[in-house]
Chain A
Amino acid sequence: MATKRVQFSHSPIPYLFIVPQLAIIAVFFFWPALQALYLSFMLEDPWGLSSQFVGFENYVELFSSSEYLSTFAFTLLYSSIVTVFSLGVALVLAVKANAILRGQSTYQLLLTWVYAIAPAAAGIMAYFIFNRNIGVVPEFLNSFGWDFRPDTNSFDATAMVILVSVWKQVPVNFVFFLAGLNSISKSVREAAQMDCESDSRRFWTITFPLLAPTAFFLLVINITYAFFETFGLIDTLTQGRPGGSTTTLVYKVYQDGFIGADLGLSSAQSVVLMLLVLLLTFVQFKFIERKVHY
């Protein structure tokens, strides 16, 4: 149990302290979550004037729609690529930052500030940098013979969204990797230095396994990021285009629910997302934490 051994005895005071939190959770978390569940079984007109129970129809509609399934596939692909790249880049930077003696804190500063930029602001910024009229990237890529057209070419658009998403996520991973590396005690490192002469062998046989818990924990953080937090980035950068090729599941909830005004269908998508998050959490608890030795 999470409580301390020495505690105040029973009185109304503890309730006073915890009630605000519980009230907010009840009103702004459970009520909406249950309502999403309820709406997912309904067919409602946009203005909320009429509503009818339709059972699992919205779910059947979803999973028989090839659009939804391809959005699903894209989201999985996109989040894996973003995760792999942003973890990879951050790991390299963290290892290098850890290796140098002087100026580590300066590098930490210079490599983490991007964390504070809103995904939506990053998306707008990227929109201009990748813009074919004023941006610098298309010109640069054209000079290599890459006819870069994110407005019409789905590969180019996907590459662009992934690059910007990685840019935004590297700092978080860097902070955790560096913290992880710093916490590997000096004695372990010194012992390792004596045992293996080769830097890369030392990294793969000793440092990397010790970083594994951090990496697995970051895996979940990054997948969550790619699923949910990239909404603003996608809305400003591509709006899920071209041809729906950069539409993530969360973006589709927004499109169908807001632009489309189809609340039932959109709520069913929300519920599917909730189940996905639950699954992710379950995996995190049951499998990953067990496999990794702390």
Chain B
Amino acid sequence: MSTEPTPGTPPGSPQESGQPERPRPSRWQGRSELGVCGLLLVVGVLVLTDAFTMDTVASVRGPVGPRTVPLVVGVALLVVALVLAVDVLRGGRGDTEGAGGPDGPEETEGAEGAAETKRAGAEGAPVKDEPGDWRTVALLVGVFLAFAALIEPIGFPLAGALLFWGSAFTLGSRTHTFTRDPLIAAGISLGTYVLFHTLLGVPLPGGPLMGVL
């Protein structure tokens, strides 16, 4: 964001984020979207299988039973998977900002591109798969799963603090790893526990720690 934007340039445009030119989707990227088609296809088959194996002994009231809508959705999933695959193979690409992610705009002419920019520019990074990025995601998934596994045995206050601390660390908070970060994590976790458990009446597992206190 250090470069001065040219007049009329929408925020988050490539010029601004220091990208000399618009990133072209590489061949690998063009193909990776086929994974989405595959997923839609699998889900479609799953929905259809489930619809066909339904026992219709259950009393069907009215002409449209519990099967109809799953059949329609399943077929539509297969069709969309196919159309999307054709679109991807012909070089079509999703409007990534449309999903609200941080990304450069597709069009950069005047305000028209900007209207589609959405929250772009927040990070200013175009879609580019870098191994490091996906490692961060994988680590976060790990931290989150650890929280899910630990919440009942060690209780929410401890597991929650670990979740916050671990996520902050994974996301790049390195300067206060053993000083400020654990304090903030513990504060947030305990505060939330008190708020939910005591004030809102939503039970959260206290774990051995709360048993001691």
A and B are interacting partners: no
Chain A residues with CB under 8 Å of chain B are none
